Amino acid sequence: MLKGGLVSIEAAMGSLKPMERRAAQYILEHPEKVVSISVQKLAEFADVSEATIVRLSRSLHCKGFQELKLRIAGDLSKSSLPTESYQEFRTDGSIVDLIKSVTNNNIVSIQDTLTVLSPESVEKSINTLSSARKIGIFGIGASAVIAKDFNQKLTRINRWCEIGTGFDAQATIAANLIPGDVVFGISYSGQTEDMIRSLAVAKNNGASIITLTRFGSNPVSELADIQLFVSTLEKSIRSGAMSSRIAQLNVIDILYVGIAGRHYDESIKSLEKTRQAVKVGKRNG
């Protein structure tokens, strides 16, 4: 069952154009009504044009209004396990409350991300990364943590990777890429200027671009050949820096397992060889 319509709307609200935002707000306030009406009626009720509804659907990465309605209907079915909403952290709560709120936010972030993560884009990413001659993994600041994790995982299964966690390193890597190479750019905000500049260099050299960003329109994802998204419903920068990181790491794990599965026997041998090498190195150190 398709789901994620309401999550997608909330996540993309900040990047929508004014008329699209007006229609989106109406949908959030009247989801039960929207699933049973036509695009013409929705345009009338929201006081926007039919073209605006079509553009909104595309902004939400739906093929059209019908798919958006199906996703909203899936949300309303309540077929998934119930979870609480994102919770702001309190400084006067108990340790038990702290444990519950942080854990809840991480769980909600992963579950919401599943509704905006396209299986088709995941499959394309796995195929593209699996066949790449060289992989450049870019992340700056908090995103560098995610980039290092992905780099370590792919290196262990003998994928040729280079990691750039600042513009100079990223630009140097990008300048030496050729068609058949891939850059995996990680930017939660999708607004990182250095990332945009380095991805442009890689793209000009013919490398494929895969991005992992917050859901919605943003400059980083617009440079991508394949776009991967995580949920953006955190209510503050503090919680966003944590639960979104967990969601991004979950996407990285999905890609890693998929890539390893494409070269299963080779991956198992590489994992054992690297494990033994580290073990021997520690023994002799």
In this predicted structure, the answer to whether residue 220 has a pLDDT above a threshold of 90 is yes
Which of 224, 211, 156 has its CA nearest to residue 184? 211
> Looking at residue 179, what DSSP letter applies?
B
Long-range contacts of 59-64 (CB under 8 A, 24+ apart): 59/12, 59/15, 59/16, 59/20, 59/216, 59/217, 60/5, 60/8, 60/9, 60/12, 61/8, 61/116, 61/118, 61/227, 61/229, 62/5, 62/8
Assess contact for 153 and 252: CB atoms under 8 A.
yes
In this predicted structure, the answer to whether residue 259 has a pLDDT above a threshold of 60 is yes
CA distance 163 to 148: 7
Which of 11, 212, 220, 239 has its CA nearest to residue 104? 239
In this predicted structure, the answer to whether residue 138 has a pLDDT above a threshold of 50 is yes
In this predicted structure, the answer to whether residue 91 has a pLDDT above a threshold of 60 is yes
pTM above 0.85, yes or no: no
Q: In the numeric block, which tokens belong to residue 279?
A: 């073990």
